[in-house]
Structure 1
Amino acid sequence: MRDSIENLLHRTAVCFVGALLLTVSGCGSSPVTAFVSGEVTYNGSPLSYADIRFIPNPLGPRGAIAKTDANGHYTLMYDAYTEGILPGEYKVVISTRGSAAARQQKETNSDSATVESGNPYASNPSSQLYGVKESLPLKFSSSKMTELTASVLEGNNEINFDLKD
């Protein structure tokens, strides 16, 4: 009986250590992503502080997001700490409604001072966005109607968007 208890304890310990190793090895590791950056222009001018979403097409496990800077440049982020996106096919949505550009548009339209350029990731409480209209056509800004697509390959990708009415 003592042998069977020791055998059971040994098997339990081996299973516990194995499960622990599997759990620890998965912690903190990010998937291999492709680096994606580029520039967005609208009618020939840089599109400042716009939100960009790459949505897997067909729908898949995960996309990525970015925000353009004052010069229309962007770098996709897989998560808060990882630049890039998984290689594959994506539809792309570019919007100014929930961005600093929308807040600037609202403040400019309400005869108040223009928002100074600062952190493009600054929070924009929804109360500041009421009444702000999307400045881009739905063919760019709607996830259902976008005509924009991107193919992301392994390695470094430069994907520019030259949007025109």
Structure 2
Amino acid sequence: MASASVMLCSGCFGQKGLETAPVSGVVTYNGKPLPYGRVSFRPEAGSPATGAIQSDGSFSLSTYGNGDGAIVGTHQVSITATEADAGTMAEAAANTEMAVPKSLIPKKYTSFSTSELTAEVVARGDNKFTLELRD
């Protein structure tokens, strides 16, 4: 029993116990809420944080556990929104490979290196971000 407790706690603090803070926000595309997809924040060190975009464009991030936020510091941001996320992807025919889902936002936003989106997560304070995407 004692070993189970040790195993459970060994993952409680994530990698090196890097501090996280709650992060939420909204994603818009051409001025309207983006109703599907995923947001990812990649810190300079440690694990990235991710979260699903809700139907109203809102999101909240998790790094080590549900809703714990993102590691404190500077992040590169990427966003994905595909036909699969939107529920509009055609089903693959029997005995064929599933097609790669088409991006429904400009491809530059899907990569940390090309999105040009950044965010500064602070330990104490407001970590609510509006991520505005445009064609």
When the two structures are superposed, what TM-score results if normalisation uses the length of structure 1? Answer: 0.63
- Alignment match, 2:12: 29
**How many residue pairs end up in the alignment?**
121
**Contact 2:77–2:119 at 8 Å: present in 1 too?**
yes
C-alpha distance in 1, partners of 2:72/2:65?
A: 18
Which amino acid is 2:61 matched to? L
Which of the pair is proportionally richer in helix?
A: 1
Which of the pair is proportionally richer in strand?
A: 2
**Contact 1:105–1:132 at 8 Å: present in 2 too?**
no
**Contact 2:46–2:71 at 8 Å: present in 1 too?**
no
**Contact 1:43–1:164 at 8 Å: present in 2 too?**
yes
Which amino acid is 2:104 matched to? S
C-alpha distance in 2, partners of 1:132/1:61?
A: 29
Query: Alpha carbon RMSD of aligned pairs, Å?
Result: 2.6
- The one-character-per-residue Cα deviations of 1:38-78 (angstroms, maximum 9, x if unpaired) are 00010011111211111124xx2211001110111000011
Which amino acid is 1:142 matched to? S
Which one of the candidate residues 38, 44, 48 is aligned to 2:25? 38
- Alignment match, 2:56: 71
Which one of the candidate residues 119, 122, 125 is aligned to 1:153? 122
SS of aligned partner of 2:59 = strand
Q: Percent identity?
A: 30
- Alignment match, 2:94: none
- Alignment match, 2:69: 84
**Contact 2:60–2:67 at 8 Å: present in 1 too?**
no
CA shift, 1:26, in A, is: 4.8
Matching of residues 1-165 of structure 1 within 5 Å: 26-27=9-10, 29-30=12-13, 31=17, 32-57=19-44, 60-97=45-82, 99-101=84-86, 104-107=87-90, 127=98, 130-155=99-124, 156-165=126-135
**Contact 1:51–1:99 at 8 Å: present in 2 too?**
no
SS of aligned partner of 1:140 = helix
Between 68-77 and 134-143, report the one with greater CA deviation: 134-143
**Contact 1:47–1:68 at 8 Å: present in 2 too?**
yes
Q: Which runs of 5+ in 1 are unaligned?
A: 1-19, 111-125
CA shift, 1:153, in A, is: 0.6
Q: Which runs of 5+ in 2 are unaligned?
A: 92-96
C-alpha distance in 1, partners of 2:115/2:104?
A: 14
SS of aligned partner of 2:70 = coil
SS of aligned partner of 2:69 = coil
